[in-house]
Structure 1
Amino acid sequence: MIENSNNQVAEELSLREVIEQYSRYWYFFVIGAAVALFVAFLYLRYTPQLYQSQATIIIKDEKSQSPLEMAAFSQFGSFLSRFKNNQIENELAIFNSKRIISEAVKNLQLNIKYEVMGNIKTSEMYGYKPFEVQYQSFVESDSREPIPTLYIEMISDSQFVLEDETRSNKTTHKFGERIPLFFGEITVLPNLDAREKFEAYLNRTILVSYSSVERVALDFQSRVNILNTDAKSNVVELSIQTQNKAKGQDFLNELIQQYNKDAVQDRNEIARKTSEFIESRLQIITRELDSVETNKEDFKSTNRLTDIQAEAQITLENASEFNKRQLDVATQLELSNTMIDYMKTSSANELLPANIGISNENVGTAVNNYNELILYRNKLLQTSTPKNPVVQSVNEQISQMRNNILGSLENSKNALKIAMKDLNVQENIISSKISQVPAKEKIFRGIERQQTIKEQLYLFLLQQREEASIALAATSDRAKIVDSAYGSDQPVSPKKPLIYLGALLAGLLIPFGGIYSFYLLSTKVKSRKDVEKQLKSIPIIGEIPKVQKGDSDLIQHNDRSIMAEAYRILRTNLQYLFINKLEESEKGKTIIVTSTIKGEGKTFVAFNLALTLAITGKKVVLVGADIRNPQLQRYLPEHLKANKGLTEFIVYENLEVSEVITKSEYNENLSIVLSGAIPPNPAELLMQKRTAHFIEALQKEFDYVIMDTAPAMLVTDTIIINKLADITLYVVRAGYTDKRLLEFPQDAINDGRLANVAVILNNVDIQNFGYGNKYGYAYSREERSLLQRIFNR
């Protein structure tokens, strides 16, 4: 239970540290959110708004079948469903084709754009326009340069000022005047139907830009959405987003109209071809029927025949069924010959007549499929060349299908001939039974048979012609409009709530990411927590704040600054380290001040610590034990820097301790021992017995002996004299010391190279400092700016 409680407390502390890590930079989040929201406001202010327009239609199924036929093909339901889906997809492709969209753009003149110039941005004009620019002609050129934008300013109801795209040349013209320009000629006509609206645009600059129909059609083709919402139905939804709602509605309505127009033209073309074919056959059959009737009349007149059938009535009644079969076969044979002759004489690009009465269902289906391929190939040729692989593939299919139709007709023709041959044989048998009938009767019956065949074919073609005429007259639109185009009153893009929400999140995430990256990539010690994580077993007895600009590096007399209080806290914490150590001894306490590398402020800390201890009345001596790179003289006047120091005492055995001690000008209780001359063998020099003798002598005379030593990781000097000290103060500089370097003091303690170590965190930023103004308690009156007071800087 205790372990779980400790884990929970650790997790809470960790979460609180993370929150504090970011909350101390709250002003970055406020500024980031404010800037992001302002940018979002500007974006929404100057970004064109888009409105959604949509329409709903139903594509009629021209190949719908009767209930009996559907029941007969119910077992092929999945196949029919796939065929239906493919049909809808084909129609959607036609809807979204550049050819259909180009017609809609051309009819609505959407390739000519009118915009009124505002103070900051231009707004598109649609619907009412104060004038209309008619592009009368264009100069033929191979450069294909875009036609420049025209700037037109109406100065009255009869005159206007015209500028080119560079706006360097102004010319005044009258409405209706034919104006020659380098790209062609234009005419500007005023729209005076609404006088008040016209006058509202006086002295305002209107931009007129012309684009090719193809380019505008491609733009609309990329933006229009045509979807079959339900695969089980023929319902199609069309939608588009435009800056002007009325423009989108007009475009969708015109697109539907152009689609219906195209579908009607396709169906009328088939009906006209069929009608022309039937009309040509009727003329031939009419002449043949007249010829047969004339032969019958001449035969009866020549042979003076009246009622020949009465003589062979009984025999003919028995052969009536046989004659009927002969007529049917002869009719089909004639139709087959006619169709074969037409296909051999007609071009491969022409449509074939459909539904002319051929009983072979395969031929009728093949003819319909052939006509559909011809129409599909013609549509492809409108938008591509004959060398297009798709067109060539379709041409191969057409050629193959035409050959198949001819083959089917030839096979049907041969079968009919065989059937007719069999019927003729049977006719001879019957003729032998009526041998009593004169030969004239047989000739007469042949003439009548020909007459009946021609009459049936003539009546059939008349019926087909009427049906084709009715189909041509009753052609209806392919797309039934369910809902005409309508648009939303509110813009669909840009979405204000989403933009503001995204901007707010970005404004918060960018500072968050920056702070996170800063802490993630930074390897420097920032605060007390960074040291505690690395050196868990070493106590931190003090935090020294960063010296502000203009402040003194050293503690002054009666100093009430945050830094002075930090050293007082350090002095107090230091006393706890000396508990049970040398309590009854009369010797002074020895303190070593060191660091990992150069520049971490050990000399600064040692000098101020010595001043702080001296203020209490204790006798303190500060020894410059860094004999490789002395820094203590920085805080001494020039005339004292040449004094003898530690190096001279160790080298010259006749030199007394008192000869190297110098009184400090900062405090009467503070004495200083300089490093002295830099020796060639500093490590060996510190190992001499004179070094220990020197420290013992100082301990007898002073209450505190503070030694400013060399960096512990760079040289071995500190390790050598560490055994002579009571406490080792290890200085870590915030914002300078690498966290990875903190592994060295931990390893040195574990190995026994350093003993009795305590850490001092130097140069702590005020916002990471654990005392003083952070909690609203200061020892000096500070003059801070408003921003510093707001941000607690």
Structure 2
Amino acid sequence: MNENPKIQESDELSLRELIEQYTQYWYLFVIGVLIALVLAFLYLRYTPQLYQSKATIIIKDEKTQSPLEMAAFSQFGSFLSRFKNNQIDNELAIFNSKRLISETVKELQLNIKYEVVGNIKTSELYGYKPFEVKFQSFNEDLDTNVPVLYFKILSSNEFHLESEEIEIADTYNFGEQIRLPFGEITVLPNLEDADKFEGYVNKTLLVSYHTVEKVALGFQDRVNIFNTDGKSNVVELSIQTQNKEKGQDFLDELVRQYNKDAVLDRNEIAKKTSAFIESRLQIITKELDSVESNKEDFKSSNRLTDIQAEAQITLENASEFNKRQLDVSTQMELSNTMIDYIKNSNPDELLPANIGISNESVGTAVNNYNELILYRNKLLQSSTSKNPVVKSVNEQIAQMRANILGSLENSRNGLRIAMKDLNVQENIISSKISQVPAKEKIFRGIERQQTIKEQLYLFLLQQREEASIALAATADRAKIVDSAYGPQEPVSPKKSLIYLGALLAGLLVPFGGIYSFNLLNTKVKGRKDVERHLKSVPIIGEIPKVQKGDSDLIKHNDQSIMAEAYRIFRTNLQYLFINKLEKNEEGKSLIVTSTIKGEGKTFVAFNLALTLALTGKKVVLVGADIRNPQLQRYLPEHLKSKKGLTEYIVYEDLQVADVVAQSEYNENLNIIVSGAIPPNPAELLMQKRTSTLVEELRKQYDYIILDTAPAMLVTDTILINKLADITLYVVRADYTDRRLLDFAKDAIEDGRLTNVAMVLNNVALNNFGYGNKYGYAYSREDRSLLKRILNKQ
């Protein structure tokens, strides 16, 4: 139970350290967010905005308007069901066809683009244009596109035209015909709004011409046409354009072109029917004239004026029979005419509809046959006869034509049988009126023929008028529910999403950079890294990073953060000596070492010696690194050549006073240089003279500081470690690899290094545990506002 709070505290500290890895670079997040927001603003400022326009229509189902016609086609039930289900899909395909969109582009002249050149971006002009370019002619031999033309309005009468592609630059008058390599153009000014026109004077406008097919393909990819509900005929059209009015005009014109195309289809059937009726009228007129002439001649030659009274009753009884004979004869004549027309006409031609055949299934079949012919012709406009859909439709057409012909022949056979029966009945009735003079019988036959021709003539006249009315009273196929409209705000780019994405990117990029840096960085960063590896070894000093322009050495009355850090280092060191050498009044010896070269052990040793000397204690600094001496960096030239540790060990006649030199930095500090570099430094340091030197120095000085070689690279420090009361192990932040701390840990655990205390060198101020972090200002230098914000020294 007692261990849980400790574990919890450790976890909290780890989480806090993790957070501090990012919060110490808060300024990077601020800068990242600012840059991201600025980039988002620039993106929104110069990215073209897209507006969505929508229109809603209802496609009228013509089949539902004639339920009797649908019932007549029961024999084609499966086909008609499939045809009706695909009707809306077919209409959607027509809406999105390149042919229909091309007509829309032509009507609105969308293939000619007008743009005004700005300082940074070019904007399209739609609606009001200061002038209009009329492309009068084109050179068909040119394979290249029409080059972009740059116009600059000079006044209401003239303009400047240039184009780098065709190497032209000249001034022209409005309305003048201009001959260019690709053809001829005429530029007409738009002076309806003088103020708007003046606003474009001295501005550069560019006009680009594209082929209708290319522009139509572009709109075909962008326009969306779909059935909002599979159970209804409601269709929604939408498109995204940079100019809202352009998108709305396009959708409205597309609907108009669709209705126009549907009207043309229906008119084609009506015209074909009208032409057929007109040809039949001419034939019937001639036949009727012939019958009437025969009647006139017969009555004149036989002097017939009235029917005999004795045949009155019989003839009245036969009137109904004559009517039936007349109807059958009429239907046989129409059937024969229709059969002859189908057999002699081209299979690809439309069949005449509504000519009066009483068989309703035949009339309905003809109407559906014509629908399939029109549908097949539309498919052939965008595909070939080898298309599987076209082949399927051709097969359906052939099948329906055969079915229609078969129905007509069956109907004719039935009429022949009926006529045969009627003829038999006629013979019976004729026997009853045998008393009627033969001439009267002949006269009745002539009158019957006349009546048939008259009824057929009147029927065809009626059908011709109906066809004319249908041609004149054609309604739109698509009923407009909502004309094209669109919201005021653009649909792309979304400002809120762009700014939110920029904000997240501004936070994530610095976060990712810091995370990657920390993930790949294996260097010691601060106190916590050392404590994790060396939990039982105390850290008695944290030396801040020397800033550019600062001195490397501690000065008298120094108030800098580094000087204060060494004072804290010195105080902590005193407590170690109190614990370890309370009763020892001789001088105290320290070894300053590190893992590898470059960690600042000589820098730490020299400044520690200066800090101890400032208290009035006698201090001697010994250059014990006789392999690669670094102490000479802080010494004047005359001391660098002085005899030192190497000479003292080798020459037994030398005394301590012979190798000791006075430091120019402090009167209480003496220095013993390393001397000449020997060929056998390890064996030399094992000599007794080395320990003798330390013993002699203990009697003369309060502190003996030995600047030794790196402990991992050579064995020198291990050999003389027993001469030191305390071993100061220097680790350099942002330089020493954390994995190298395992060497110090192993050396301490094995006893190769004893009485070790850690010194952390080159600590960044944001990781530094002392100084102005707690409100104390040890430096008198004036810092800029930016440095104070970023906590830079």
Q: Same fold (TM over 0.5)?
A: yes
Judge conservation of contact 1:336–1:409 (CA < 8 Å) in 2. no
2:104 aligned with 1:109: no
Alignment of 1:264-283 (within 5 A): 264-283=263-282
Q: Which moved more, 1:569-578 or 1:357-366?
A: 357-366
Distance 1:659 1:639 in 2: 15
Distance 1:78 1:538 in 2: 93
Judge conservation of contact 1:151–1:162 (CA < 8 Å) in 2. yes
Q: Which runs of 5+ in 1 are unaligned?
A: none
Distance 1:356 1:4 in 2: 102
Distance 1:442 1:692 in 2: 167
Distance 1:736 1:370 in 2: 91
Judge conservation of contact 2:142–2:182 (CA < 8 Å) in 1. no
Shift of 1:723: 4.1
Residues 293-318 of structure 1 deviation map (CA, whole Å, 9 limit, x = unaligned): 8889999999999689879789979x
3-state SS of paired residue (1:114) = strand
Q: Structure 1 residues 315, 787: closer, same or farther in 2, change over 3 A?
A: closer
Shift of 1:583: 1.7
2:391 aligned with 1:396: yes
Alignment of 1:289-328 (within 5 A): none
Residues 594-641 of structure 1 deviation map (CA, whole Å, 9 limit, x = unaligned): 222211111111221222223223333333333332222222222222
2:402 aligned with 1:407: yes
Distance 1:369 1:626 in 2: 109
Distance 1:77 1:673 in 2: 117
3-state SS of paired residue (2:767) = coil
Shift of 1:396: 1.8
Q: Return the letter of the residue paired with 2:710.
A: P
**Normalization by structure 1: what TM-score?**
0.85
Distance 2:163 2:27 in 1: 51
3-state SS of paired residue (1:525) = coil
3-state SS of paired residue (2:375) = helix
Shift of 1:261: 1.0
Shift of 1:724: 4.1
3-state SS of paired residue (1:591) = strand
Residue 615 of structure 1 corresponds to which residue in structure 2?
A: 614
Shift of 1:704: 2.9
Q: Structure 1 residues 249, 670: closer, same or farther in 2, change over 3 A?
A: same
Residue 187 of structure 2 corresponds to which residue in structure 1?
A: 188
Judge conservation of contact 1:116–1:207 (CA < 8 Å) in 2. yes
Distance 1:658 1:515 in 2: 55
Judge conservation of contact 2:73–2:361 (CA < 8 Å) in 1. no
Residue 626 of structure 2 corresponds to which residue in structure 1?
A: 627
Shift of 1:544: 0.7
3-state SS of paired residue (2:63) = coil
Q: CA RMSD in A?
A: 4.3
Distance 2:603 2:79 in 1: 92
Alignment of 1:125-524 (within 5 A): 125-155=125-155, 157-165=156-164, 170-284=169-283, 338-355=337-354, 367-382=366-381, 384=382, 386=384, 392-409=387-404, 411-412=406-407, 415-416=410-411, 419=414, 461=460, 464-524=463-523
Shift of 1:363: 6.1
Judge conservation of contact 1:264–1:477 (CA < 8 Å) in 2. yes
Distance 1:332 1:469 in 2: 24
Q: Return the letter of the residue paired with 1:591.
A: L
Q: Which moved more, 1:361-370 or 1:172-181?
A: 361-370
Distance 2:718 2:289 in 1: 137
Q: Structure 1 residues 95, 406: closer, same or farther in 2, change over 3 A?
A: closer
Q: Which moved more, 1:27-36 or 1:650-659?
A: 650-659
3-state SS of paired residue (1:580) = helix
Q: Structure 1 residues 8, 293: closer, same or farther in 2, change over 3 A?
A: farther
Distance 2:458 2:750 in 1: 122
Residue 773 of structure 1 corresponds to which residue in structure 2?
A: 772
3-state SS of paired residue (1:218) = helix
Alignment of 1:75-86 (within 5 A): 86=86
Shift of 1:499: 3.8
Q: Structure 1 residues 531, 97: closer, same or farther in 2, change over 3 A?
A: farther
Q: Structure 1 residues 23, 222: closer, same or farther in 2, change over 3 A?
A: same
Q: Structure 1 residues 178, 221: closer, same or farther in 2, change over 3 A?
A: same
3-state SS of paired residue (1:731) = strand
Aligned length: 784
Residues 292-348 of structure 1 deviation map (CA, whole Å, 9 limit, x = unaligned): 78889999999999689879789979x969x96x98887776656544433443334
Judge conservation of contact 1:543–1:761 (CA < 8 Å) in 2. yes
Residues 149-194 of structure 1 deviation map (CA, whole Å, 9 limit, x = unaligned): 1314242x44444334579865343333222222222223333444
Residue 600 of structure 1 corresponds to which residue in structure 2?
A: 599
3-state SS of paired residue (2:555) = coil
3-state SS of paired residue (1:675) = coil
Q: Structure 1 residues 290, 29: closer, same or farther in 2, change over 3 A?
A: same
Judge conservation of contact 1:340–1:409 (CA < 8 Å) in 2. no
Q: Structure 1 residues 739, 282: closer, same or farther in 2, change over 3 A?
A: farther
Residue 32 of structure 1 corresponds to which residue in structure 2?
A: 32
3-state SS of paired residue (1:578) = helix
Distance 1:4 1:290 in 2: 123
Shift of 1:563: 0.9
Q: Return the letter of the residue paired with 1:759.
A: M
Shift of 1:495: 4.0
Residue 719 of structure 1 corresponds to which residue in structure 2?
A: 718
Distance 1:222 1:160 in 2: 37
Distance 1:590 1:747 in 2: 23
**Normalization by structure 2: what TM-score?**
0.85
Q: Return the letter of the residue paired with 2:522.
A: T
Distance 2:433 2:72 in 1: 52
Q: Return the letter of the residue paired with 1:730.
A: Y
Q: Structure 1 residues 541, 580: closer, same or farther in 2, change over 3 A?
A: closer
Judge conservation of contact 2:57–2:482 (CA < 8 Å) in 1. yes
Residues 75-106 of structure 1 deviation map (CA, whole Å, 9 limit, x = unaligned): x9999998666433332332233322222222
3-state SS of paired residue (2:566) = helix
Judge conservation of contact 1:363–1:405 (CA < 8 Å) in 2. no
Judge conservation of contact 1:311–1:437 (CA < 8 Å) in 2. no
Distance 2:84 2:530 in 1: 75
Judge conservation of contact 1:114–1:209 (CA < 8 Å) in 2. yes
Q: Return the letter of the residue paired with 1:35.
A: I
3-state SS of paired residue (1:668) = coil
Q: Return the letter of the residue paired with 2:397.
A: R
Distance 1:373 1:220 in 2: 29
Q: Return the letter of the residue paired with 1:16.
A: R
Q: Return the letter of the residue paired with 1:386.
A: T
Judge conservation of contact 1:116–1:122 (CA < 8 Å) in 2. yes
Q: Return the letter of the residue paired with 1:403.
A: A
Distance 1:428 1:117 in 2: 90
Shift of 1:569: 0.9
Shift of 1:286: 5.4
3-state SS of paired residue (1:485) = strand
Q: Which moved more, 1:289-298 or 1:22-31?
A: 289-298
Judge conservation of contact 2:379–2:390 (CA < 8 Å) in 1. no
Judge conservation of contact 2:708–2:717 (CA < 8 Å) in 1. yes
Q: Structure 1 residues 459, 220: closer, same or farther in 2, change over 3 A?
A: same
Distance 2:78 2:594 in 1: 85
3-state SS of paired residue (1:63) = helix
Q: Return the letter of the residue paired with 1:177.
A: E
Distance 1:771 1:222 in 2: 67
Judge conservation of contact 1:336–1:358 (CA < 8 Å) in 2. yes
Shift of 1:284: 4.5
Q: Structure 1 residues 2, 652: closer, same or farther in 2, change over 3 A?
A: same
Shift of 1:404: 1.3
Q: Structure 1 residues 269, 536: closer, same or farther in 2, change over 3 A?
A: farther
